[in-house]
Structure 1
Amino acid sequence: MTAYTPIPTLEGDASFDAYIARPAGKPKAAIIVIQEIFGVNEGIRRKCDHWAQQGYLAVAPDLFWRDQPHVELDADKPEEFQTALSHMQRMDQDLAIRDIEAAIKAARAELGEGGKVGVVGYCLGGRLAFMAACRTDGDAFVGYYGVGIDNLLGEQHAIGKPVLLHIPTADGFVPPEAQKKMHEGLKDNRHVTLHDYEGLDHGFAAEMGNRRNDAAAQLADQRTADFFAQNL
């Protein structure tokens, strides 16, 4: 069962929509699915639906709501790509993390006592997933091709739960020197695991479109599924 549901902000002074997919039976845990710069589009909704089919409560908060609610853009259309970049540039990422924290809180309330919540994000969402690992009380975190994580390494001391990062080595938005900083900066953090995907570019695990690489997407998604099964 799927629907858009309002989630109150942590302050309780407003609310934002989230796409929620629920499993047929009692959820075994919840997963917050963090959007790319293209909004909570069909690809993100498909990821939520997939997690629900696996028995999870899946929640994709609309993180562009302060700028424009219900943004849905196509990565393969150049003009829409530029529009997506403009939304990202106007986003306050600190407030986005608070919205993710509000989504975690709402998911826990639905799960009931003892319910665990994971976070998985893509692109911008991959960066926000790493920030959430440093700043929220989620139980496990996964980032796919997160941009600018090399500039966030000073926050890693706050990570207390398992983190998994998927890194395509030919990522046009994360150059080799940034990847090197991530590997070197995180190698001694016992909570963090990094997987490289040789020769692949940004967006390889998109659900649809020209960016997807089926074999690599399936490998990364299986690693993510195993990671959540172990930690949630």
Structure 2
Amino acid sequence: MGEKVRIPTFEGDKSFPAYVARPAGTPKAAIIVVQEVFGVNPGIRKKADDWAAKGYLAVALEVFWRQAEGIDLDSDIPEEFQQAIRHMLAHDFDAGVRDIEATIRWIRGTEGVAKVGLVGFCMGGKVAYQAAARTDIDASVGYYAVGIDQMLNEAHAIARPLMLHVPTADGFVPPEAQAAMHAGLDDNAHVTIHDYAGLDHGFAAEHGVRRNDVAAQLADQRTDKFFAANLA
């Protein structure tokens, strides 16, 4: 079981909530877990708990805290799905990247953990790309990221390892967007893209009808190896 903490904003004038799961001993590194549009719900908390069980300090910040704290939604309930989309549309992603910077600073300073990775899902996958391009995060992973094709002008700034898991039948990322991602990123030595043929958005969700066990396990194994190599 984790605990809820408050992390000072980058500007230091406010604080935001985060779910923190700690390993049994000294953390070998830290991993920031960035939610889907559904908040820090049971699936995201489980992902944080799983990283803690593997020896990492895991921090899942509440991305939508400026709108409301404690958002916890179920993707399988249509009304809650629509509520989640409204939160995403109202979100300030630039402010969100500053929250990532604040979380990195809190981990390295307050928690004393030097190496920091980030793994994000859906909207969090976009944040993983932004973090790789705009912060000094040590390594980032994005699952079924949305909108990267519109941010390829930032690719030149990626100086640390980034891995992207891309389902080819993603209803939120059409084939032309996927093609643009490959065209813009395949030559970048810091970026690795794994395609998952025929799979749709959310295939690695911990709970619900979207999950594909075989593909989720493969993607998670790749992520484990990626962080082991780049956060050592």
What TM-score, normalized by structure 2, do the two folds share? 0.98
What residue number does 1:78 align with? 78
What residue number does 2:191 align with? 192
What residue number does 1:136 align with? 135
3-state DSSP of counterpart to 1:131: helix
**Aligned 8 A contact 1:143 1:166 in 2:** yes
Residue correspondence of structure 1 range 1-232 to structure 2 within 5 A: 2-112=2-112, 115-232=114-231
3-state DSSP of counterpart to 2:193: strand
In the aligned structure 2, how far is the partner of 1:226 from the partner of 1:110?
27
Q: May I ask how many residue pairs the two structures share in their alignment?
A: 231
In the aligned structure 1, how far is the partner of 2:156 from the partner of 2:60?
27
Q: CA deviation at 1:105?
A: 1.0
In the aligned structure 2, how far is the partner of 1:212 from the partner of 1:68?
27
In the aligned structure 2, how far is the partner of 1:11 from the partner of 1:101?
10
In the aligned structure 1, how far is the partner of 2:182 from the partner of 2:196?
13
**Aligned 8 A contact 2:155 2:184 in 1:** no
**Aligned 8 A contact 1:149 1:182 in 2:** yes
1:126-175 CA distance string (max 9 Å, x none): 00110110111110000000001000100011111000000000000000
**Aligned 8 A contact 1:29 1:111 in 2:** no
Q: CA deviation at 1:111?
A: 4.4
**Aligned 8 A contact 2:33 2:48 in 1:** yes
Unaligned runs of 5+ in 1: none
3-state DSSP of counterpart to 2:59: strand
RMSD: 0.8
**Aligned 8 A contact 2:31 2:116 in 1:** yes
Identity %: 65
In the aligned structure 2, how far is the partner of 1:112 from the partner of 1:95?
24
Q: CA deviation at 1:219?
A: 0.2
What TM-score, normalized by structure 1, do the two folds share? 0.98
**Aligned 8 A contact 1:127 1:147 in 2:** yes
In the aligned structure 1, how far is the partner of 2:39 from the partner of 2:135?
22
